[in-house]
Structure 1
Amino acid sequence: MSGTLSTLGLGSFANVLSGAAGGNLVSGELSRLLGTAALGGVTFDIIDSREAAGRRVSRFLFPNRPVEDQKFQDFGTIDQPIRITGYLAGDDYVLRADRMRKVLLKAGRQTLVHPWWGRLKVRVLEPGEIQFSATRLRIAQFQVTLVRDPEPSATGGLLQRITDTLTNLLEQADAIVDDVTLTVQAVLAPLAIPLALSGVVGSFLSQASGVWDALTASAPQPLQTGVLQARAVLAAGVSVPSSNGDTAYADAVTAALAAVPAAAVTAITDPSLSVVAPAQQITGDAAEIVDATTVMALLLSAAVQIGAVADTLSNTSTVPAEALTLGVAARALIVSQMLGAWGGLEFVSGADAVAARDQLIAAIDALKTDLENAASAGSSVSLSGLWGSVQSARMALVADCSSQVGRLPRVVAVPVAATVSGWALAYAVAGDDVSQVQGIFDDLISRNAIGHPALVGPGDIQVLEQST
């Protein structure tokens, strides 16, 4: 299981209004009214929000007395429920709807980031409704009733019960995208973008485009084709608006940064489905495929190089904190897509899974270091939400890897005193189960980088243990 997570997240609703909304909504003036909101860490587009506020007043009327003799008793202020209609839009709208459903089921206080009221502590007052429609593809609509609750609450446990480790990992990765979107919106919030800030954004997008061009130049042909349009979007950059009254500019920057890593993950080929390949993807007698391992290596290199670009920009710019924050955003988007590709990796042994996990953990830890550096540089936006989602994704990755390791065979070291045939060693390891000989042989040749299968050893040879 692999796939692209939300690449547009916020602001994507406006992009699908005309093509997927059926006859209910149209693009144009209405799309500009959409606001950005988040509930429990799940971002969505908000089109309607209603709330009443006032005082708790009881009115007393007396029989056979004129209305002027009425009395009132004031019990103080009261906040009435906030009723919100929101939309979850994008290629991952079903995954986002599932995350929102879990938010609605969660007990206790939650954080609502409201486009007009700001950040509020709320509780879900009534069961919410999530609606799917065949006339609105890639859009889920929901209604929820909330009430303000500013009182402090007790801290819950650090770990929650995880029933599906891979789904939980994908949800945590999607949460990273949401927090990145909010972070970039906060950085690019000024009504008039300063020249220094616009210069940093333009330079960063340009240099990031150069990094991707270099990395994909030697990639398999299907991968080059898959990321071609996304590279063009990034290379084109984002024009700075004369008036920055909404989040369109920030969302365009986020979309440009996310486009290439998301397209790379989308290009992963499922060999079982690739019976017929385009002509340009044929090499000799076989169709070229793009496996998750290739894409993962590409994304790992990109994360390191784009992080270095942000560091260099911060040393020369008059707004170093903003440069580092943009670097954090770009690197976090790449990490989120790596987590999305994790489900497409196939492991022969538990040791292989642990090795791949450690590579991803190193990338996540490097991202956390970047977050700390951006905060230390005096970033004007809060990075605590993004740091929390990155840490949660790290925990989810460890949990999913642990569940896989328990189902995979172990790699054992077999001492070989003299040079022997690889086939003889494979038969010896397989024992009575000859059906495993071919798999053991193939693995020991590749795992130990054996030049000739008849010349194995002497020394310790790594082989797969029998699955039985």
Structure 2
Amino acid sequence: MSWRDRLQKASFRGIEFHVSQATGSGGRNVVVHEYPLQEDHDTEDLGKKSGQFSFQAFLIGDDYDIARDKLIDALDQPNVATLVHPYLGSLSIRVVDYSWSITSRQGGYCSFNINYVKAGRGAPVFAANTADAVAAAATQCLAQTTAQFVDNFSVTGQPEFVRNAALDQLNKATDAIRKINGKINAAVAQVEDISSDIDDLGNELATLIQAPATLISTVAGVVSSFIGIASDIKTAFGVYDQLLAGFKITSPISRTAANGVATENRAAMADNQELIATALGAIAVVSMAQAVAADDVSFTSYEEAIAIRDALLTELDDQSAATTLSYAEYAAITELQNALYKRIEQLAPGLSKIEYIQRGASLPALVIAHQVYGDATKADELVSRNSIANPLFMPAGKDIEVLI
């Protein structure tokens, strides 16, 4: 395989063109300190330069003018975009400036000179401690959920079938936790400890149902621990997502009896069902928010952080739309939404972004890792991220997901 086999078709924002020449420069930001009446000087290295890059592109053919207008429009667009460089592969860049030229001597031909810089990473936003803000908002949200549950949930003085309906729902929720725990044994630590906590919860439900505040705090402790022991934030979110699905009401209890007449007992059963589901949903999202608030939280990419943020905000939106919500609950949910948004806004700028590259020939993961990252030890990450069966043969002509 030669360098010709590794060339890629040039494009920017999906507009294809040809490249006749490419140049670049780099170096270090070195400051020279010179002193009066001294024969020597000092130097200070302030880090790597951003580099300056340019290439000469051209369009040719009967429809070159249409392609020219499309490329000009693409170059004029703001923000970071992907350049597929014939020699350097896929790059996230910002266009600095460009010029184009058409001559009467070369009909059907337009040349461009394009200057750009690599996008780099955004500087982290330094603000108030967003982790503490999320933790405080999550605590307040759980407190309001508990207060609402304690004020409205009750099986005391109710017929046994009303009590059993609530107990069955809580047992199903516990079974959902237990089932999810069985699926992720390989992904979490301290599985035996959490399994014991889940079993204790199931065994105590008949007693806890008589004490609503204790019931909520006990369930919240188990769910928080369950999400908290996940080995990474992606696994934690997977647990949260499955818990949320397991806590949903699948068969709403009717407020009317078989004869179509509404009864107080049926109404109590339906109210308790809604209260339990609302409380469990709030516990799940609060526990996930606590995981995001952790000092050691680590997202693998910008896209992952934004996706988790958006999922949590959407769930909180759904919870805030409940017609039975008190003003205090609504205020607590809104505060948690704001805190989560600011938390991810603080973390996201410094995260790597997902990009997609292609290679003209099948190459070993070690080679592509060296080309993309300058670090062959990241080959395992490439293989895992792209679910490659054989690391010696990364796919040719297909998108390969990388972190830039």
Question: Unaligned stretches of 5+ in structure 1?
Answer: 1-160, 242-247, 269-289
Other-structure match for 1:324: 274
User: In 1, Cα distance between the equivalents of 2:228 and 2:399?
Assistant: 40
For 1:357-376, list aligned pairs within 5 A.
357-368=309-320, 372=322, 375=323
User: In 2, Cα distance between the equivalents of 1:361 and 1:386?
Assistant: 15
Other-structure match for 1:408: 351
8 Å Cα contact 1:351/1:410 also seen in 2 = yes
- SS, match of residue 249 in structure 2: helix
Other-structure match for 1:257: 219
8 Å Cα contact 2:201/2:219 also seen in 1 = no
Answer yes or no: is 1:179 the counterpart of 2:144: yes
Answer yes or no: is 1:212 the counterpart of 2:177: yes
Other-structure match for 1:462: 401
Other-structure match for 2:335: 392
User: In 2, Cα distance between the equivalents of 1:202 and 1:190?
Assistant: 10
8 Å Cα contact 2:228/2:236 also seen in 1 = no
User: In 2, Cα distance between the equivalents of 1:191 and 1:232?
Assistant: 23
CA 1:199–1:226 in 2, change beyond 3 Å: closer, same or farther? closer
8 Å Cα contact 2:357/2:402 also seen in 1 = yes
Q: CA deviation at 1:229?
A: 2.5
User: In 2, Cα distance between the equivalents of 1:397 and 1:461?
Assistant: 31
Other-structure match for 1:453: 391
For 1:241-390, list aligned pairs within 5 A.
249-268=211-230, 290-309=231-250, 312-313=252-253, 317-319=266-268, 320-342=270-292, 343=294, 344-368=296-320, 372=322, 375=323, 379=324, 382-390=325-333
- SS, match of residue 409 in structure 1: coil
- SS, match of residue 463 in structure 1: strand
- SS, match of residue 357 in structure 2: strand
Q: CA deviation at 1:189?
A: 6.7
User: In 2, Cα distance between the equivalents of 1:240 and 1:460?
Assistant: 53
CA 1:463–1:213 in 2, change beyond 3 Å: closer, same or farther? closer
Deviations 1:81-122 (A, max 9, x none): xxxxxxxxxxxxxxxxxxxxxxxxxxxxxxxxxxxxxxxxxx
Indicate the larger mover: 393-402 or 225-234. 225-234
Deviations 1:140-179 (A, max 9, x none): xxxxxxxxxxxxxxxxxxxxx9611121111111111111
TM-score (norm 1): 0.50
Pick one of 146, 166, 170 that aligns with 2:135.
Answer: 170
8 Å Cα contact 1:202/1:237 also seen in 2 = yes
8 Å Cα contact 1:215/1:298 also seen in 2 = yes
Other-structure match for 2:5: none
Other-structure match for 1:223: 191
Indicate the larger mover: 177-186 or 217-226. 217-226
TM-score (norm 2): 0.57
Q: CA deviation at 1:389?
A: 1.7
Q: CA deviation at 1:301?
A: 0.7
Deviations 1:339-393 (A, max 9, x none): 1122354223212322333343344344345xx2xx2xxx4xx533223322322
Question: Unaligned stretches of 5+ in structure 2?
Answer: 1-125, 257-265
Deviations 1:115-143 (A, max 9, x none): xxxxxxxxxxxxxxxxxxxxxxxxxxxxx
CA 1:235–1:204 in 2, change beyond 3 Å: closer, same or farther? farther
Whichever residue aligns with residue 398 of structure 2, its letter is G
CA RMSD in angstroms, aligned pairs only: 3.1
8 Å Cα contact 1:196/1:318 also seen in 2 = no
User: In 1, Cα distance between the equivalents of 2:390 and 2:246?
Assistant: 37
Answer yes or no: is 1:444 the counterpart of 2:378: no
CA 1:365–1:416 in 2, change beyond 3 Å: closer, same or farther? farther
User: In 1, Cα distance between the equivalents of 2:383 and 2:305?
Assistant: 19
CA 1:304–1:314 in 2, change beyond 3 Å: closer, same or farther? farther
What percentage of aligned pairs have identical amino acids? 16
Whichever residue aligns with residue 217 of structure 2, its letter is A
8 Å Cα contact 2:153/2:272 also seen in 1 = no
Whichever residue aligns with residue 310 of structure 2, its letter is D
Whichever residue aligns with residue 327 of structure 1, its letter is A
Whichever residue aligns with residue 175 of structure 2, its letter is G
Q: CA deviation at 1:338?
A: 1.0
Q: CA deviation at 1:264?
A: 1.2
User: In 1, Cα distance between the equivalents of 2:359 and 2:255?
Assistant: 55
User: In 1, Cα distance between the equivalents of 2:309 and 2:208?
Assistant: 39
- SS, match of residue 225 in structure 1: helix
Q: CA deviation at 1:200?
A: 4.0
For 1:51-62, list aligned pairs within 5 A.
none
User: In 1, Cα distance between the equivalents of 2:356 and 2:388?
Assistant: 15
